[in-house]
Every structure is written in C-alpha cells, then in structure tokens.
A and B are shown apart, each in its own frame.
Chain A
C-alpha cells in the first residue's frame, strides 16, 4: 500500500488479504471457495448486479406476466435480464462500458 501504512497485526492481515484478492482472486470460479464473503453470492447467480423494487417496494409490479414463476422468485429476484432499470433508475449503468468484453468490471452493483 502506498498511502496507508498498516500499523497493527490486523491491518497487516487486511493488507495481505487485499493483495491476495488483487493478485488472483478478483475473479473466482464458482466451484472454488474464495476467502471471505464474495459478491455476488449464490450458486446460480453468475452476474447479479442488483435488483429492482417497484413503487410499492416489492417485486410484484416488475415482471408481469411472469411474476413468481419460479420458487426462487420469492428469495432473490430473477429480473429477466439481470440488469438494472436503465430507463429510469440507472441510466448511466453502462456509461463506462464501451466494450462488455473488456470493460465489464466497470459495471457496478446497484442497491435499491
């Protein structure tokens, strides 16, 4: 680290953890078990930048007519395209992503 100096043992471990993540654990295979909590979580959520809520704060008004089609619609929301609402809420979501192949890291998580 160039600007922050780790002083105590815990800070040293944090620095080591950051270095490890930067080095080779930035992208992990879902079958491997990365250290610590890793976003995205889950076994079938390959790319899950966020979820949307409707004006009532629920998901009922989002995806008709396929609402509650799957059991998992109750737990997470498989909003069909797995992308945020780029019409209203996250208009600039792909603003820095000219080429998805190269710039996909610049797509950020969205919180409701």
Chain B
C-alpha cells in the first residue's frame, strides 16, 4: 500500500470551525474532528493509512477514521505520497465563446487632468495627442459597435454595453443615439442590452440625470473621497480641485436616479489611503449605495504609487471594512463595501480561472475609431488590437492571445494556492509594471493571498451565521 500525503489545499478557520479551500478545484469544505485529525497527522509527513488510523484510534472509532480518510482522498485533499503533481491543463475556452460585455470608448477627451489616469495620464499606452484615434466616436462607429455586440454575443439573451472615456458625458449626443439604437436593434434580435457608464460627475446636467434615470443606465462615479482627497489628484486642467463641482451634481443624481444602483469608484494612491474615512464620506455624506476601491495602476517609480507599507495598510483597512460588512450582512443589512462582496461571490461559485478576467474573451473594449481591444484599458492600442467592429473579431489573434495568456504559462503561479481565484491578475496592471501582459503581477502576490485568506474567513463565518445570504451568488 502506498503511503498517503497531503495534496494541495489552503486551510482556514472561521466561527470556531476548520475549513479547506481546495486547490485547484476551489471547493470549500468544512472539516469535522476526525477529518481534521487525519489532516493534522498527515501534515507531519506521509504515512500509511493504517498507521494514521492506528495513531488516532484512541480519539475516534476506526470506521469513522476510515470514512474520513476515504472522503479526503475523494476530494483530493490527500493522495498517494510522491504522486506526480497534477499538471495545469491547457484547456482553451470552447470556440464560439460569446461576448457578454462591450465597453465603448466614446471619447478620448476629458475635462479633468488626473495624473494617475490609466487612460491618459503618465502611464498611458495609447498616444491620444498625436495618434490615429479620433477625439470622439462617431455615431456610425457606435452603431457598428452595437451590431458587433449583437452578433458576437451569439445566443445570449442579455448583453452589456458600458460607455467609457475620457469623460464619457462629453459625447452625450452619441450616448443618447446609441442607447436608442441599441434598444431597438436588440429587441429586433430578440435580445436585451443593459447599459452602464462611468463618469467623473462634473457634467451631470439635469437633463443628463433625467436621461440616465429614464433609460435605466447603471452609473459608476469616479471619485476619491472627501474634498481634500478628491482635490489632490482629481483636478481640472487649471489645477483647481473638482470636489465642489461634483458634490451637488452627485447629490442630485442620487436623488433623482433610483432605477439602478449607483456606485463610486475610488483610486487609492500613496497619499490617499484613509479608506475608512473615504468609505464613510461616500456612503453617509454623499449617499452612494456601493464603493469600490482600486489601488492605482502605475509604474513603480511614480511618487503616488503604493509601496509595501501602503499595500499593507490597504490590506489592514480592507480587512476592517470587510468585518464591518460581515457584521451588517449577518443581520441582513446592506453594507456598501463592494470589494469584499465581489470576492465572496467568486469564492461561493468556486471559480477556478484559467485567465484572470474575461478580457479578450467575454469582454472587449472598443476605441473611438472602432478598433476592438482586449478591454477598455487597451482600447486604441495597436499592439493589443483584437479586430474591428466593422470586420469582427480576428479569431487567429484571439486564439494566439488565449494560448499565450493561459495560466499554464504562468509558472510562478503554479505553486500558489490562490491561483484559482487570481490567475495572475490584471493584464493592464502587468503591462504597465513589466511591459508585457503575459506575466503575473508578482508585486501583488502577497497582498492577493492575504486578502483572499481574509475573504475565505469572512465566507466561512457567513456560511455559519447567515447561509441564506449566499444563495444570491448562486450561479
């Protein structure tokens, strides 16, 4: 008989119970005392099954230990010691994978001059000043994009269209026309399109707010927090802060537009890390339903880049907010910290990703000229073009992309327990930091493992104290 040893999983505890997060299947199981004891015994080194059972027979009946052992083998928590490591299979997505979301870059222009902007700031990929991309997307290109989405979404009954920029609202006429056109065409094709947009809120005139509400457009507002934080980075070209401009407009938006949730998106930088204060301000004083935080994507040399202490600080504060979220959620009260909710959804489904996200596959970004890119962050970049809305997706290019970026090629990831949920992280982040989209974001590895561990603990506790809540994440 072969000795048994531990296979790959990540243990965690919650609400006094012990759990395992299986790798790479991403199944979460709760252990009972016999199964926990078996894992502990094998944790000290490979043993023959009979030896393990013998050692533990004073604490548990033998037949229960045998059952526990065989269940642990079945879920692959333990297996033959010295068996070859399971190879990461290079299973490409099936052909004809539908496009679910298309992000339309309706303009390259912006009325703000935020330094950290990944589209048009210091680390931008696309040359918008001297390059080929038109400043505004033309009506005709927008319509071609709608046709592109309808076609490439295949049999899906619902597709998603997100408007982006520059400052999206600078091209309001095209937004209006496109939504009307898309609605009509989708109905003709027996589908539905859901709309959303991102804006800096400076141009939210009453008629725009009304249009958003009437057309049920989901809105994300890019905002960094209370006045002193907002005005540090989110400035007009003159250098003047934008807070006083956006505040009344946001309040009006939240008062009038009740048909879709309205979220805030915060960019965290070295100087802007008072997460609790930002969250409280945006939810309580402004009235946003949800707040999502993102650390700035930058080259490591920028003076606003987050360094190790910044990342640690961010992790600690995320953990505190996540605990608050948990305490509210077990009481079925809403809490707007969307970062934790998004991660919990992925844990609940048990995602085991071959790719970090759907870019180039289920999600694509369209530039003002109609070039199709991996995602909105790559829209307009020649190097990352996947086709055009007129001619469609270049399937050869797409296949090349999918083959190159599969987790099988990210050897650094193969020994990391968080890979089912991380899979190397954002392509754009990697490109800005390392000059290529193909590698994992090594500067984030420790952070991602710590944050995922925290979320697993939150998940375990939620499964104990309010399991009904989790059914809203059922796939």
- Residues of A that sit less than 8 Å from B by CB: 1-11, 13-14, 18, 92, 95-96, 108-109, 111
Contacts and interface: CB of A to CB of B under 8 A. Distances in A.
A91 B289 CA distance: 68
B241 interface: no
B328 interface: no
A109 to B, nearest CB: 8
Residue of B28, B67, B459 ringed by the most chain A CB atoms within 10 A: B28
Nearest to B86: A37
B349 A9 contact: yes
Given A1-B71, A3-B68, A11 B31 contact: no
A98 B291 CA distance: 66
Interface of B: 1-2, 19, 22, 25-32, 34-35, 64, 67-68, 71-72, 74-75, 80, 82-84, 347-352, 459-460, 463, 470, 474-475
A7 B349 contact: no
Contacts of A10: 22, 25-28, 349-352
Contact of A7 (B19, B351, B474, B475): B19
Contacts, number: 85
B461 to A, nearest CB: 11
Contact of A92 (B1, B64, B68): B1
B474 A11 contact: no
Contacts of A4: 29-32, 35, 68, 71-72, 75
B2 A14 contact: no
A24 to B, nearest CB: 16
B35 A111 contact: no
Contact of A6 (B27, B32, B67, B83): B27
Nearest to B32: A3
A94 to B, nearest CB: 12
A28 B383 CA distance: 49
B28 A3 contact: no
Nearest to A112: B84
A111 B79 CA distance: 13
Contacts of A11: 22, 27-29, 75, 350
A109 B463 CA distance: 38
B28 A7 contact: yes
30 contacts: A1-B71, A3-B34, A3-B71, A4-B30, A4-B31, A4-B35, A4-B72, A6-B27, A6-B29, A7-B19, A7-B30, A7-B460, A8-B347, A8-B459, A9-B348, A9-B349, A9-B350, A10-B22, A10-B25, A10-B26, A10-B27, A10-B351, A14-B25, A18-B74, A18-B75, A92-B1, A108-B80, A109-B80, A111-B82, A111-B84
Given A5-B29, A9-B350, 7 more contacts: A2-B64, A7-B30, A8-B27, A11-B28, A14-B22, A96-B1, A111-B80
A13 B71 contact: no
Nearest to A2: B67
Given A4-B35, A4-B75, A111-B83, A9 B475 contact: yes
B463 A7 contact: yes
B177 to A, nearest CB: 41
Given A9-B349, A10-B28, A3 B80 contact: no
A111 B71 CA distance: 22
- B2, B31, B75 interface centre (most CB from chain A within 10 Å): B75
Contacts of A109: 80
Contacts of B83: 111
Contacts of A8: 26-28, 347-350, 459, 463, 470
